[in-house]
Amino acid sequence: MDQTTLNIIVVGLSFALYFGIAIWARAGSTSEFYAAGRGVNPVVNGMATAADWMSAASFISMAGLIAFVGYSNSSFLMGWTGGYVLMALLLAPYLRKFGKFTVPEFIGDRFYSTKARVVGVICLIVISTTYVIGQMTGAGVAFSRFLEVSSTTGLVTASCVVFVYAVLGGMKGITYTQVAQYVVLIIAYTIPAIFISLQLTGNPIPGLGLFSNMAPGQVGAGEPLLVTLDGLLTDLGFNAYTTGSSPFLMALFTLSLMIGTAGLPHVIIRFFTVPRVADARISAGWTLVFIALLYLTAPAVGAMARLNITDLMWPEGTQGEAVTIEMIQNDPEYAWMNTWQQTGLLGWEDKNGDGRIQYYNDANPSMTERAEAAGWQGNELTNFNRDILVLANPEIANLPGWVIALIAAGGIAAALSTAAGLLLAISSAISHDLIKTVFNPSISEKGELLAARISMAGAIVVATYLGLNPPGFAAQVVALAFGLAAATLFPALMMGIFSKRINASGATWGMLVGLISTCAYLFTYLGIFFVPGTNFLEPTASNYLFGIPPTHFGPIGALLNFAVAILVSRATEEPPQEIQDLVESVRIPRGAGAAVDH
């Protein structure tokens, strides 16, 4: 059986499972569509939340970002994980206690304002739409390679799959589908990592293999893996893998991801599905366990993949003579390069006509003399899309066909699980917060459920279009969504829970200033930001405001949001007493203070 057929079978079986679950868990009411009837077991919800959380950016892009930048991009791991802890401790239980269906509904009721609710809907749609671009792009990448179709065909196919189980099942169907998707993606991610760790270091645990010595027969045998990798990269003019960048920029970007994570509406609404407030905390704990299985593996996957690629492009003993075009065409070890080239995500050019593909950092002045002496005319690996790294890793390491098929199913599952959650957040905000609350309060439950399904279908169409025309690779686009969430919803939620003094005007103006300032900063630098081939995660552009790149602007927008909300609230009337009492009752557990000494 050829690899493509095997991939189609494995991916097809996973789709059949998703469809079966959607039919079994079909939503029959708005409560089931929005919050799965609030009857999801905390452990089940923990697994579903982990799948919702671990998007195409986590599965496909994160290891690629770490692999090609190194230690500096550990900000993704620290920011995403730290942000989830922040959300689990400071937001999720309190929001569950409010008993609402959506994030804008909480904002509207807490700040007793339809305007605040509408601004919350706008912020949610902007954040979720930006985020979903990365998921659809990731699905297209996975489909285009493993099912031997164009990325456009793959993306449309992925949209159709999401359409079936998301429109039919709502939150109820998505919840149980995400459980199945978590199982698929975690198996797909860890099995290849175990194989590759054993191959390179002899250690079956990737996280430990990262700090182990290279196995006999491997390049750098007997020395630590990271030392070997640093040596390979510096020999080719790249920065050492373990070298960090500006501590200030790392801290700012990590903070942006943290508070952006805590404001992501599609993750927050998952905590509305459990029966009790205590279950929200239990669910958060289980989610961390399930997330850790992938996040503790990702750094090892990134480092080992970069080592494999670098060593493969410069075979040991060739003394600077790179891989030949003949090897790419005829050697099974390099077959992956031909297959990925056909997708347009990998490319090379023999610039000096020597029949070899030189891979080195041609922007490094120290490499100039060596390059000129050897007759090189620039780096000839002209295109290496980082999104392909995890997907190509099993092929690069010559792992069995069934492992490659698992990766295909896992990559698609990661993209679809998060896309479904985002699309649900968008459709719920439109049907429940706009149609039901603003435009047609008298709409029946049946009518609202129909509106929710139509909104979901419309959101899928828009997401498909944006996925076909993405502004960057998956994790780059996702980084924008985190900045927007950090600057808009996170401050509103925090002040709504922990401050009785913030009123409707303050919250509304705060969100608007956070949204407008962040979007203005992003679009001001689009000319720099989306230049093909640039790495804006480690920018050198001198014309950024105080050297702050667009993806790092979230905390600045959040500060502006907090400042405006506080100043406007202080200059206007206090919230009504019943709202202040509501905030107090949510923060303080029932019965607190009843048992005192007399």
What is the pLDDT, as a whole number, of residue 525?
A: 62
Average pLDDT over residues 399-426: 80
Amino acid at 387: D
Task: Give CA–CA dist 190/384, Å, rounded.
Answer: 23
Average pLDDT over residues 341-367: 82
CA dihedral 544, 243, 535, 134 (to 10 degrees): -110
For residue range 432-462, list pLDDT tens digits in order: 888 888 888 888 888 888 888 888 888 888 8
Amino acid at 273: T
Question: In angstroms, how far apart are the furthest CA atoms of the chain?
Answer: 92
Residue 384 β-bridge partners: 346
Higher pLDDT, 222 or 535: 222
Of the ranges 44-48, 298-302, 525-529, which one carries the lowest mean pLDDT score?
A: 525-529
Asked whether the predicted pLDDT for residue 34 surpasses 70, the reply is: yes
Average pLDDT over residues 61-82: 76
Asked whether the predicted pLDDT for residue 69 surpasses 80, the reply is: no
Domain boundaries, the chain: 3-305+394-472
For residues 395-418, b (16+ Cβ closer than 10 Å) or e, as one string? Answer: bbbebebebbbbbbbbbbbbbbbb
Asked whether the predicted pLDDT for residue 568 surpasses 90, the reply is: yes
What is the pLDDT, as a whole number, of residue 52?
A: 79
**Quick one: what percent of the chain has pLDDT higher than 90?**
13
For residue range 161-194, list pLDDT tens digits in order: 877 777 777 788 788 888 888 888 888 888 888 9
Contact 118, 438 (CB under 8 A): yes
What is the pLDDT, as a whole number, of residue 589?
A: 54
What is the pLDDT, as a whole number, of residue 535?
A: 43
Asked whether the predicted pLDDT for residue 308 surpasses 60, the reply is: yes
**Which has the closest alpha carbon to 254: 106, 439, 74?**
74
- Write the CA distances from 572 to 506, 566, 568, 578, 580, integer angstroms: 8, 10, 6, 17, 15
Task: Give CA–CA dist 74/387, Å, rounded.
Answer: 17
Average pLDDT over residues 21-36: 77
CATH fold for domain 3-305+394-472: Hydantoin permease (1.10.4160)
DSSP secondary structure letter of residue 162: H
